[in-house]
Copies of this chain bind each other. A is one copy, B any other.
Amino acid sequence: MSIATAKDTRDTERGSRRLILDHAARLLRNGGYHRATLREIAEAVGIRKASLYYHFASKEEIVEEVVNDGVRFVHEAVVAALAETEGAAPRERLEAAIHAHLAALHGHGDYTSASIKVFTFGAGPVPESVRAVRRAYEDVWRGLIAELQQAGALPAERAPDALRNFLLGALNGSTDWYRPERFRIDALAREFSELLSPAR
C-alpha cells in the first residue's frame, strides 16, 4: 500500500491530461472540432464526460492544447535538425529540415493532423496562443529560407514569402496523401529538397 505524495499526484494529473489529449487529438483528426465530442473523448479515456472538467476548463482549452502541441512537435524537431547540421552544406540543411518536418508530422500524426484540420475554432476567433505558436514556427523557416537564398541553394530571385508558403503547404498537404506503406519519408525529403535545390 502506497501513500500518495504531492509529486505522485502531479505525475498522475499530468498523465491523465496527456491521455485525454491523445484521444482528443485522434478524434479531432478524424472529425474536426464539432464532431469530436466531449462524450467520445471521455469514453475513449474511460471516464465520464463531466470528469473532463476536472482537468480542463472547456472543450476549447482541450482543442487549443492539442493544436499547439501539434505545431510544437514539428517546430522542435526542425530546430533540432538545424542544430545538428549547423555548418553543413546549405542543401543538406534544407533536406534535414524537410525530413524533420515530415518525420514529426507523421510521427505525431494525430496531433499534427488535428492541428492542420482545426483552424476554425468553436465560436470565437482562433486563440492568440495558437496564432503565436504558428508564427513562431514560420519564423524558423523564414530564417532558413533567407540563409539558403543568400547561399545560393535556393534561387535568390524568388519571393521568400511565396517560397515559404509554397513549401510549407506542400509539406503539410502530405497529411492528405502520405501512407507509410506507399512512401518513405527519407525518400520524400530527398525528392522535395532536390526539386527545390537541384544538385548542379
Contact of A195 among B155, B176, B194 (CB under 8 A): B155
Task: State whether A191 and B173 are in contact (beta carbons under 8 Å apart), knowing that A30-B120, A31-B120 are contacts in the complex.
Answer: no
Task: State whether A119 and B191 are in contact (beta carbons under 8 Å apart), knowing that A33-B32, A34-B34 are contacts in the complex.
Answer: no
Nearest CB on B from A51, distance (A): 24
A158 pairs with B194, CB closer than 8 A: yes
B159 pairs with A169, CB closer than 8 A: no
Query: Ordered nearest first, which 5 A-B pairs have the shortest CB separation?
Result: A169-B173, A34-B34, A170-B170, A162-B191, A169-B170
B169 pairs with A165, CB closer than 8 A: no
Does A58 lie at the interface of the complex (its beta carbon under 8 Å from any beta carbon of B)? no
Contact of A172 among B33, B158, B159, B169 (CB under 8 A): B169
7 additional A-B pairs beyond A162-B187, A166-B173, beta carbons within 8 Å, are A31-B34, A32-B33, A162-B192, A166-B192, A169-B177, A170-B170, A172-B173
Chain A 121-173 residues near chain B, CB threshold 8 A: 155, 158-159, 162-163, 165-173
Closest to A169 in B: B173
